[in-house]
Amino acid sequence: NEEREQTLNQLLSEMDGFDTSKGILVLGATNRPEILDKALLRPGRFDRRIIVDKPDLKGRVEILKVHAKDVHLDESVDLDAIALATSGAVGADLANMINEAAIMAVQHGREYVSQKDLFAAVEQVLVGKEKKDRIMSREERKIVSYHEVGHALISALQKNSEPVQKITIVPRTMGALGYVMHVPEEEKYLQTKEELHDRLVSLLGGRAAEELIFGNVTTGAANDIEQATNIATNMITRFGMSDRFGLMGLATVESEYLGGGARLTCSDRTAADVDTEVMNLLKQCYDEAKEMLAGNRELMDKLAAHLIEKETISGKEFMKIYREEKGLPDPEEKKEQEQTTENSTETTVEAKTEPAAEPAQTPVQAQEDAQKETQKAVEPQIKETQNSAEPQEQKTVQNPAEPQVQNLESAPKQPTSAAGNSEGSPRGRFSNVPSDRV
């Protein structure tokens, strides 16, 4: 319109008339950049863009720390876990969560905010406050219980779903009669086709449980159907995950920073084919959900009865019942067993490293030892004989009448013979007798 054009022209004139030496900066902010006039984005005007997106995991942790610095936090508080559970939240949401958690702590007469307070605040911001004064009939409580158990059970049966954190049938102020809370193990920026498919099956699990148990359906699956339709449409029109359309892009996103949806950029005939493809995909996932729940009917009945009795169960309670019925080991118990096994292995290794007792002697070794003892006993006799022979030799020299040769021959005979028996024995130290010693 004319007024808009006049405003734009005046703004452009003012920006072009600034003297660059004055040090004036012109800043602007918008959440709809696609509607800005191209003249505003030319070089020399708003040519530098700074995109302020929703904070990632690290950013949410830092924002929580900023808002929690003036709040007394309990030692059990783990802000990383809170940040992981609040994917998509902006700074104002996180500030509100810290504030609500502090209010809850004061209401319960506690000086410090606990992890439980923070998770309760997260739920309050996401789905509203609890409305325990809203009385549902027994039949409605049963329907809602089976609906939520249908979601949770399919998530547990799948390998690509996020772990269940909580299941409740307590109504909330934002209209939810019950819900299942999932907390991812890590923040992800990409999703595979299999993950999106499993997400569709999980979303339709509540409706499938209603039809399977009661033979009828209710309006409780409205939000689930809306989410499933959006995911299926994006898979076909934007993500190239359709066998029929292949890699063809059929839609563009509008108002991305305002959470805008996709707008089809194809002909009416192709749009009708897209609708058919979306319906076929949703029907396939719905049939898969019913088949999975029908194969686990007893487990679903047990979980629903437990939820009706408790109204709210944690993810640990849910998985405990699931593992007991499936005969699966508890990961924590399995971890303890592995640690015990490692400790016992270390003890065994230590026991093996201790010095072992000397093995029993073999007959050959015993004979060698006996020969060594004999040699030790003979050596003193040899020395004694040699000592006694020396003075005789001196006497022989002093008395030339005695035959010297005879005395020289007879004196060493005994020690030579004894020494010969010791050193020349075939079983002496240098014999080739096999030995067990190494």
**168 sits in which H/E element:** strand 164-168
Distance of CA 130 to the CA centre of its chain: 31
Q: 109: phi > 0 → left, psi -120 to 50 → alpha, else beta; which? A: left
d(CA 239, CA 241): 6
Closest C-alpha among 150, 161, 175, 145 to residue 313: 145
Alpha carbon distance 420, 399 (integer Å): 32
Please choose, from the candidates 181, 167, 176, the residue with its C-alpha nearest in 3D space to the C-alpha of residue 305.
167
Contact between 259 and 32 under an 8 Å Cβ cutoff? The reply is: no
Helix (H) or strand (E) holding 302: helix 297-310
**Across the strands, what pairs with 313?**
167
Name the CA dihedral angle for 227, 232, 234, 237, rounded to a multiple of 10 degrees: -150
Annotated catalytic residues are 148
Q: Are 209 and 149 in contact (CB under 8 A)?
A: yes
